[in-house]
A and B are shown apart, each in its own frame.
Chain A
Amino acid sequence: MLRVRSLIARRALLRQYATAPGPHALVFLEHRAGVIDSASLSAVTAAQHLGGKATGLVIGGPDEVPNVVQQAKKLKGLNALLHSTSPEYSTPVPEIVSPLFEHLLAKDSPFTHVLSAHSSSAKSLLPRVAARLDLPAVSDVTSITHDSSDGATTFTRPIYAGNAIATVRAPASIPIKLFTIRATAFSAAATSDAAAEDSVLEPIAVTDPPTQHIKTDLTKSDRPELGAASRVVSGGRALKNAETFKATLEPLADILGAAIGASRAAVDAGYADNSLQVGQTGKVVAPELYMALGISGAIQHLAGMKDSKLIVAINKDPDAPIFQVADVGLVADLFEAVPELVEKLKQQ
């Protein structure tokens, strides 16, 4: 009680000089195979838009954390770094990780914002944490402005599969604003020579957790990661089957150094793996180049790619909706056009 009082008193004092205490963001940094996810680097940049301090948070198993901490400390925009290591955190399930967040964000927490990339693990975790703290959460944020004078943060986020943009305001009555950011809307944080101060956060043991991780199966690929690739070659139902999908798209992806994506139709038909799906219910990408091959351009697919810089579409149907968003459209049979394209690119 005393501590709270003195805090209030100090705040009042500060206010006389200038403004209310600035925002302090906690950025959840995710990593895989010892490398920080590029989407988390975008989250660090997003935190800068709040105009205050930012602390990174790394959690993981004992063999990953030290390495990740070394990288995270050097991220431009992070003032401090917290890390928590536990064998249980190496394949984190929300039921086991949530208590750590709840502890960090309990009463008198210095943090005013908690953010992460809109990744599958953060999407599972943050709303759980928010509910435990009786706080709402904001998903898939594309822009942020914070007003230090009234403690309100305003976000924009796509709704209806990106066909409308909502501007929502989280007032000061929400003491901690939790949100996930759309990585493609923010650039990745750079690395600096200076290193932020890091400190250990004791893990919080969960006795008899109700959920157990059994196994993870990752789709192996030498290609760039879909969500972060600067070029994406994507195929739809017109690819006929899994063999022609591979045979047609791979040579083109290889020569362009592109990641491979797929429409929901192609995924549902079993031509491509689920993790390659681009759209409202799959990945959202915004590469330099997006090539849509044999994709009609349904609303749900456009939601995942329409922020790409250059959209190229090849489709037999001249009326396909994809041509309404494509910068370059070619009405052609993709089984002829794509091999020709590959040949001609090779000759360059």
Chain B
Amino acid sequence: MRPSAVRLLNILVPIKRTVDYAVKIRVNPDQKGIDLNVKHSMNPFDEIAVEEAVRLRERLKDEVKSIKVVTIGPPKSAETLRTALAMGADSGIHVEIPDSAPSPEPLGVAKALRAIIQREKEQGGVDLVIMGKQAIDDDAGQTGQMLAGLMDWPQATFASKVELDVTKNGANVTREIDGGLEELRCRLPLVVTTDLRLNEPRYASLPNIMKAKKKPIEKLTATDLQVDLTPRLETLKVTEPPKRQGGGKVANVDELIAKLKEAGIGPVSA
């Protein structure tokens, strides 16, 4: 029962710059990776995380003290940070890794986030981490859970509704699970990962984009945080998935049924 009436929340939102979700990706002929000279944007689940943080502040007004966004990535990830700042975050941290460096693994990222949370202690600490449930490039979906594990904090994954109760130092989170929904009550500090249904992210307005240019971004390196971002799993190759051949079209329902029959598919006897 530590909470007091004057408790103020600090929210941390980790975000990732990924290939835009609408881009049809191409595997490089050398099988080392995919062609990255394409449009990038903020990971869609992370946009939802930023939006949620901003909405929490709109709902709770003065109870949210700060919203800080953090990204770990190559120099260009700074653009992604600016987008988040334009959506309403206050400040950013960019843990810069060289363009040539391999993409860090979820465990490495989680360790870097842990180091950042520890650094934030001087500024009031972090009470709530909101992040995407998965990045749409590696599709791992691990970082939030790993961070919660490293911090020994509770976790609420695949959240579709977050109700913060600052005075009670907790949150009620509705999660999307296989077959339905589940509600949890979690104590702060907490890691939440966002599902698509949590909210609809706003577009940053032009004035806010201009304002975002003045918001502070702190630059750090993995060395500053004393973390090793070298992957422990070796990616041997990246290949194209087996191609499916479209079987062509049929003219009418009768032909469709004939094709189904050919495949041995008929009605089930009731």
Contacts and interface: CB of A to CB of B under 8 A. Distances in A.
Interface in B247-270: 247-250, 252-257, 259-260, 263, 265-268, 270
Contacts of B56: none
A123 interface: yes
Interface string B20-42: 01101101000000100000000
Interface stretch (B60-68, B70-78, B182-190): B182-190
Interface stretch (B7-15, B120-128, B142-150, B203-211): B142-150
Interface in A123-158: 123-132, 134-140, 154, 157-158
Contact of B155 (A95, A157, A254, A329): A95
A121 B177 contact: yes
B154 interface: yes
Contacts of B197: 268, 274
A166 B235 contact: yes
Chain A at the B interface: SS class: mixed
Most-contacted residue by chain A among B27, B142, B185 (CB, 10 A): B142
A168 B146 contact: no
Interface string A26-41: 0000001000000000
Nearest to B181: A217
Interface stretch (B83-91, B216-224, B237-245): B237-245
Nearest to A117: B178
A329 B249 contact: yes
Nearest to A328: B259
Contacts of A312: 256, 259-260
Contacts of B24: 163, 299
Contacts, number: 261
A129 B137 contact: no
A218 B107 contact: no
B172 A214 contact: yes
Interface string A269-310: 000011100001101000011000000000110000010011
B201 interface: no
Interface size class of B (residues with CB under 8 A): 35 or more
A67 interface: no
Contacts of B255: 330
A215 B22 CA distance: 36
A128 B246 contact: no
Contact of A341 (B107, B153, B253, B263): B253
A131 B178 contact: no
B5 interface: no
Interface in B121-165: 134, 136-150, 153-158, 160
B6 interface: no
Interface stretch (A74-82, A170-178, A185-193): A170-178
B234 A169 contact: yes
Contacts of B184: 93, 211-214
B155 A324 contact: no
B230 to A, nearest CB: 11
B92 interface: no
Contacts of B105: 136
A318 B172 CA distance: 46
A190 B171 CA distance: 43
B196 interface: yes
A212 B186 CA distance: 6
A124 B141 CA distance: 9
A8 interface: no
Contact of B236 (A98, A154, A324, A326): A154
A159 B263 contact: no
A227 interface: yes
A289 B19 CA distance: 32
Contacts of A164: 25, 27, 34, 238-241
B179 interface: yes
A330 B256 contact: yes
Interface of A: 32, 91, 93-95, 98, 119-121, 123-132, 134-140, 154, 157-171, 173-174, 210-219, 225, 227, 231, 254-257, 264, 268, 273-275, 280-281, 283, 288-289, 299-300, 306, 309-312, 314, 318, 323-332, 337, 340-341, 344-346, 348
Closest 5 CB pairs of A and B: A131-B146, A257-B268, A131-B149, A327-B247, A127-B142
25 contacts: A32-B179, A120-B157, A120-B158, A123-B157, A127-B145, A127-B146, A128-B145, A128-B146, A131-B110, A137-B146, A159-B238, A160-B137, A168-B233, A173-B232, A211-B184, A213-B183, A254-B270, A289-B263, A310-B265, A332-B253, A337-B253, A341-B256, A344-B253, A346-B267, A348-B257
